Amino acid sequence: MDAIAHSALSHAASRGTIAADLLAWYDTHARALPWRVRPGGNAADPYRVWLSEVMLQQTTVAAVIPYFAAFTARWPTVADLAAAPEEDVMAAWAGLGYYSRARKLVECARAVAAMGGFPGTEAELRALPGLGPYTAAAVAAIAFGQRAVVVDANVERVVARLFAIDDPLPGGRAAIRAATDAITPDARCGDFAQGVMDLGASICRARDAQCLICPLSAHCAARVAGDPLTYPVKPAKVAKPERQGRAYALIRDAGAGAQVWLVRRAGKGLLGGMRALPDDGWTARADGSATPPMPGDWRAGGRLRHVFTHFALALELQVYLAPPSATPPSGEGEWWPLAQIEQAGLPTVFARAAALIPRAPD
């Protein structure tokens, strides 16, 4: 934090000034979200707060809302979710990505149900399966009204600009957290955290800082410096490695009665525990020398490119339309109606691959 940041802190006079200005803005401009209560209202349901925070990790609010509605309709309490088969939760999660979150969701729900409910302190929440520092702090502040330092990507951006913190990420996160701690109030800390999130989502955006209407502009060192978009300072991008692979669609019958062979991926690892098309482990050589999972007259059915967060996958789909008398594949799996493939809960990459399968023979 440089001299400009110290000047901003001095200008703010106290953390209460920043918090008061932010909360006054939030009281009028809070986003209406299905997991929230109104500003200044009673504490939110910890189950709904926890579920929404897990879903929102690396995912947009717009994408999460329909999933949240579906989950809470099907499993309205943490006990209901704890009693659900893991494969049902994984299928309901399909399309949200980061599938390890869904496995941890079930594990955590079962731990909470065994305890009789969510614990009320940040330290106890942190001990639950899958709850990192951010999620534990968010639930503690929003659901239990505890003072906790809540820093997500929106908060990180707002605070980095507010105090002109120029230490590049990820190293700069310690200074950002300390600055967030300095302005977090003792009262209404949940509303304060959500208010900063909303400010980052609507006004202090990554590529568009609307300083003229920002309730914290009078305190903002980045605005004084004249270039708020330079904060937070991010490291240079590193090119993602690429992998190649193949998925195989084995079809039996034809027309409206066509079925596709699906397998269940290993419980751990990428897309673990999800239904999927058989594949080669995404290790195919560029010369096409991959070995299919079973003999057959395999022929190319299309090619797609799907980008994960940690590597890019170029996946070539091979389609085989087998006659009803063909020998069924060996190993565990299931025939799934092709007309109902959307209900199989396939992860996005395999849902895109399945979309390339002809719905009738050539």
Kindly give the pairing relationship between strand 299-307 and strand 275-276: unpaired
Mark whether 316 is an active-site residue. Answer: no
Q: CA-to-CA distance for 64 and 70, rounded, in angstroms?
A: 10
Q: What is the DSSP string of 284-347?
A: --TTS-PPPSS-S--EEEEEEEEE-SS-EEEEEEEEEE--TTSPPPSSS-EEEEGGGGGGG---
Pairing of strands 312-321, 242-252: parallel
Give strand pairing partners of 245.
Answer: 315
Quote the tokens at residue 62.
């717009």
Indicate the Cα dihedral angle 92, 96, 99, 104, nearest 10°: -70
Catalytic residue (one of 53, 122, 156, 316): 53
> How many C-beta atoms surround the C-beta of residue 362 within 10 A?
6
Give the other-Cβ count within 10 Å of 45's Cβ.
18
CB atoms within 10 A of CB 152: 19
User: How far is Cα 329 from Cα 289, in angstroms, rounded to an integer?
Assistant: 21
Residue 220 tokens read as: 């903002």
Which residue type is seen at 357?
I
Tell me which residues are annotated as active site. Answer: 53
